[in-house]
Structure 1
């Protein structure tokens, strides 16, 4: 009997629909025996949180811009980026379930250097991301209500609403909220792609890997930016919150992860279609940053009527606000684990868990100090540090997973095979290239 077929009980967690009772074997849930496939589908949740958190306005803009500039030529990069993120999240989830440790505990076992990098990164990242997420969530509301409050007021309001949801609610509530937003995103983003009537014969050549002249940076952005960064590592914490805590959950985790990135792939392909059909073919230029999505809503207004343009803005808001909520929850769990593990606390110390003092300290950090940045004009030093540390994270994740999944830190039956090593090795190379480009932009200011 392999580890995936054992009869271990899942560690008790927050009750969820379809979760086994204490006398029901985890192997029943994994799909080896017992539950029907339809019942397993009902268990899916952490993956939707990853999808809703990882696909923010920045991912949609990067893919939209690629479609607007190069048509379908970078479709292959979207598919490749989705496959790479599946490999990364599966690796993180497999390590957590197989080892019984959190991802930071795994990093810590590789040496103290991991904490020296991750500690400053998560503190600076939280400060800058907090302001960015609040602004991104506010931008579509300003466009929807042009006579309402200005951007800063909306941004602070979004931060406070997200703070209340995460502070008062537990993971199960966060999962339901994010799943609702994923549904809204799906209807609006995919709806826009359907209205654009994609040209399938034009799409097929885009599956052949080629990089058009001047498209290297866009290619890196699309392949490396699909579906999140630090939230990939947060997946293991959402597994714990869900109550999935042993190898018996491995098959469910893989199904959950596959669904998450299938949804992510649909989102980004849909945005590429919109960029190619509505903008590239008509030679329409967009603003930079998140304002590109406001410009797109204006294009949709002109083509399909004002109602759909407004509905798309609702989808833009859902993508931004779901990212805010997911980060406030998942990355706060990561910070709590980092702080508690660094201090030598037991992994079940209440300060390190959802709702604990370390968790809530980071929720506060994500919400209130970033509000000050909303009133500053380009805090250059913080942005520079954010860019430098952030550029290293994805290679850091890929390389450390290679270390964790090829050593005795992971039980032998769950270690990487050749396919896993090739996938993670390719991820590391891609993200090193993306990171080098981001470092260059951060240091030189050339974009």
Structure 2
């Protein structure tokens, strides 16, 4: 019964969270321009996101890693940095578009220009993240998004030719405006398969402490929730095709045209329903995208993170979503057209998808992650501990080829893994290794290194030197060297590497202590 309740609640919140400014704007434009002809793009995007969301939940439940964790650990920091920067940029544009969507809804409701609403919207979103919990963000706000079902009701009330709707679900060549047709198709796919959707889902699975017992729940939520969300997008497209076309709107180039979709169906309440749908859908998406930006940065660099933690306990994570929200409001404050920003960001999202989806698909086929569920979590842990025993003992004499192979295994198994202290506080990632190379014997690990200096050195000598100089100038000469932890302090190697230290008694968290004392701690409610 408990699992059934979780499935029902998960499906409901998925419906509320699926439709956001990108899905709404692209579906409306596609319907106005091409009638039912681009329904197939919505269907294809929905099928893709069903599979990606299911895989994201399965990956998190089985491996206890988020997608960002897994990509960095599996492929290394140098390969992780490009998807990280690309996703941060795309998410930033999407977040700005979502804030713009809420601001437009406020303008429609009050007559006050959307530019004046951008900062208040960002502040309200920040306040909910600052004071709220993950359950409130995931379920409370998303459930309000059920108001978007009005588009499905409207589509049914318009009584379209369902045979033509079915024909539109089959891919076809455009009858006119070929370039615009394919641009809209790509934009719809970008809106449906936004990386933040499945990456946020994997982070949520970790926040909710999913394990293998949730695999069935995950499949149900992914399949039913995303299907219902896709149905709402199809409803938007059908309503736009039948209503906007009848009013002579051949192209949607202003948000003020969109309320026309529901007014002929519901009268004055159609206007109210549209404004509520736009505001709630965009606001819920803004919360999720802002959180995902913070998740991505914190998970990528191994910081402590969690929406259920107080801001004082994860100052880096809290500062990340704070800066993201207020910076994303700036383009809207400056008067950038939210609709044009939305369409552009959706097309850019589709173009950037391979940078996150391809490495994620590799992770799903790596037995060290997803394959563990067949043998239980002790398989990988036992292998790691046997490897650790060899590292500590030093091993026997080996050939040069064996030593090279041993070194590669060492880098694969330890470099870029999450590091925690004895209290399970996330310290950072294994950014560097200090090893003793001995003739005829496998390398012996002496210590690990953490911090920006070690990361910069992996990008090259010059970045490493510049980062060390900057650290020395900002924090003194003591901070001009990487943080080291002796390998003899290792307590356990599993999903994370646990060291027998108390991070509070080290200088590893000096930058977080400074943030806590001088920035985060001074904000009420921290």
Q: TM-score range by the shorter chain?
A: 0.7 to 0.9
Q: Deviations over 1:329-357 (max 9, x none)?
A: 343223221232xxxx6xxx468975422
- Counterpart check, 1:204 vs 2:166: yes
- Aligned to 1:80, the other structure's residue is in SS state helix
Q: 1:167 to 1:282 in 2, by over 3 A?
A: same
Q: 1:181 to 1:361 in 2, by over 3 A?
A: same
- Where in structure 2 are the equivalents of 1:278-289 lying within 5 Å? 278-280=243-245, 283-288=248-253
Q: 1:249 to 1:303 in 2, by over 3 A?
A: closer
Contact 2:15 2:225 (C-alpha < 8 Å) held by counterparts: yes
- Counterpart check, 1:152 vs 2:115: yes
- Aligned to 1:368, the other structure's residue is in SS state helix
CA distance, structure 2, for counterparts of residue 299 and residue 86 of structure 1? 28
CA distance, structure 1, for counterparts of residue 347 and residue 22 of structure 2? 18
- Name which structure has the greater RCO, CA cutoff 8 Å, separation 6+: 1
Contact 1:86 1:258 (C-alpha < 8 Å) held by counterparts: yes
Pick from 311, 315, 322: which aligns with 1:364? Answer: 322
Kindly state the Cα deviation for residue 219 of structure 1 after the two structures are TM-superposed: 2.2
CA distance, structure 2, for counterparts of residue 160 and residue 272 of structure 1? 32
Q: Normalising by structure 1, what TM-score?
A: 0.72
- Counterpart check, 1:254 vs 2:219: yes
**Equivalent residue, structure 1, for 2:508:** none
Q: 1:350 to 1:221 in 2, by over 3 A?
A: closer
**Equivalent residue, structure 2, for 1:325:** 287
Kindly state the Cα deviation for residue 404 of structure 1 after the two structures are TM-superposed: 0.7
**Equivalent residue, structure 2, for 1:296:** 258
Q: 1:316 to 1:191 in 2, by over 3 A?
A: farther
**Equivalent residue, structure 2, for 1:241:** 207
Which has more strand, going by share of residues?
2
Q: Normalising by structure 2, what TM-score?
A: 0.62
Pick from 226, 231, 255: which aligns with 2:197? Answer: 231
**Equivalent residue, structure 2, for 1:63:** 27
- Aligned to 1:164, the other structure's residue is in SS state helix
CA distance, structure 2, for counterparts of residue 350 and residue 195 of structure 1? 46
- Where in structure 2 are the equivalents of 1:6-405 lying within 5 Å? 18=2, 29=3, 38-42=4-8, 44-45=9-10, 51-108=15-72, 109-125=74-90, 127-146=92-111, 149-186=112-149, 188-213=150-175, 214=178, 215-226=181-192, 228-244=194-210, 246-280=211-245, 283-288=248-253, 291-292=254-255, 294-302=256-264, 304-340=266-302, 349=304, 354-355=309-310, 356-376=314-334, 390=349, 392-405=351-364
Unaligned runs of 5+ in 2: 375-526
- Aligned to 2:76, the other structure's residue is in SS state coil
- Aligned to 2:318, the other structure's residue is in SS state helix
CA distance, structure 1, for counterparts of residue 274 and residue 128 of structure 2? 24
- Aligned to 2:368, the other structure's residue is in SS state coil
CA distance, structure 1, for counterparts of residue 15 and residue 297 of structure 2? 21
CA distance, structure 2, for counterparts of residue 41 and residue 180 of structure 1? 14
Unaligned runs of 5+ in 1: 1-16, 19-28, 30-37, 416-447
Kindly state the Cα deviation for residue 114 of structure 1 after the two structures are TM-superposed: 3.5
Q: Deviations over 1:123-153 (max 9, x none)?
A: 444544443222211101111112xx33122
- Aligned to 2:173, the other structure's residue is in SS state coil
Kindly state the Cα deviation for residue 50 of structure 1 after the two structures are TM-superposed: 5.3
Question: What is the root-mean-square deviation of aligned Cα atoms in Å?
Answer: 3.0
Structure 1 window deviating more from structure 2 (80-89 vs 295-304): it is: 295-304
Contact 1:40 1:252 (C-alpha < 8 Å) held by counterparts: yes
Q: Deviations over 1:33-91 (max 9, x none)?
A: xxxxx44534x43x655554442112111111212222222222221110011111112
Contact 2:106 2:117 (C-alpha < 8 Å) held by counterparts: yes
Q: 1:303 to 1:53 in 2, by over 3 A?
A: closer
Q: 1:389 to 1:119 in 2, by over 3 A?
A: farther
**Equivalent residue, structure 2, for 1:424:** none
Q: 1:118 to 1:358 in 2, by over 3 A?
A: farther
